[in-house]
Amino acid sequence: MNSLDPRVNRLDVSKTMDGGLLTNSHLITWEVFHQDKRGKQVVHCGIVHANTPEMALILAKEQYARRGKTTNLWVAKTSDVFTFNSEDEDIFETTPEKTFRDPGFYKVRDRIEKYQQQNKLNV
């Protein structure tokens, strides 16, 4: 093979051109979590393939901490993460009768003004 790349010429890649492909074998996946500032939340940012947590951290550093600020990375095996079924999304909806949990539910200004008018209160 006549390449513009001297390294390719030195390797003589044509020798391996019929080399078999990978058999179906996988390194497992790890979910990666990133913290960009001390005191901030650690947020999910993606995955890496690795066979040990140490290797997962090294690869996560290369992949998700090349630029900008990073204070820490966490990795967890994908198989160790438990989630709800995404079809059950509606279980998280706030029902109208639960608005008493919201600060906006508590409106007292009208009542105060009415009381002040009735009692001719001048504050």
Partner 1 sequence: MYGSTNLTEEEAKRMSTTQEDPEKLEAFEARIARGEKIEPQDWMPAEYRKQLIRMIEQHAHSEIVGALPEGTWITRAPNFRRKLALIAKVQDEVGHGQLLYSAAETLGKTREQMLNDLMSGKSKYSNIFNYPAVTWADIAVIGFLVDGAAIVNQTINSKGSYGPYCRALERICYEESFHLKQGHDNVVYLATGSKIQRDMLQAAINRWYRPLLHFFGPPDKMSAHSEKLMKWKVKLASNDEMRNQFLDMYVPKILELGLTFPDPNLRKNNEGIWEFSDPDWDEFKRVINGDGPCNKERLAVRRYAEEAGRWVRQALMNPKDKYQVPLA
Query: Which chain residues interact with partner 1 by CB under 8 A?
Result: 1, 3-8, 11, 13-14, 16-17, 19-22, 24-29, 31, 44, 46-49, 51, 55, 62-63, 66-67, 78-79, 81, 83, 85-87
Burial letters 17-47, b for 16+ CB under 10 A, else e: eeeeeeeeeeeebbbbbbbeeeeeeeeebeb
> Which neighbouring-strand residues pair with 100?
none
The residue among 35 and 63 lying less far from partner 1, judged by its C-beta, is 63
Residue from 22, 33, 26 nearest 61 by CA: 33
CB of 36 to partner 1, least distance (A): 13
CB of 90 to partner 1, least distance (A): 12
Q: Tokens representing 33?
A: 């979590």
CB of 73 to partner 1, least distance (A): 15
* Residue 13, C-beta contacts closer than 8 angstroms, at least 6 positions apart: 1
The residue among 3 and 72 lying less far from partner 1, judged by its C-beta, is 3
The residue among 40 and 46 lying less far from partner 1, judged by its C-beta, is 46
Whole-angstrom distance, CA of residue 31 vs CA of residue 48: 7
CB of 24 to partner 1, least distance (A): 6
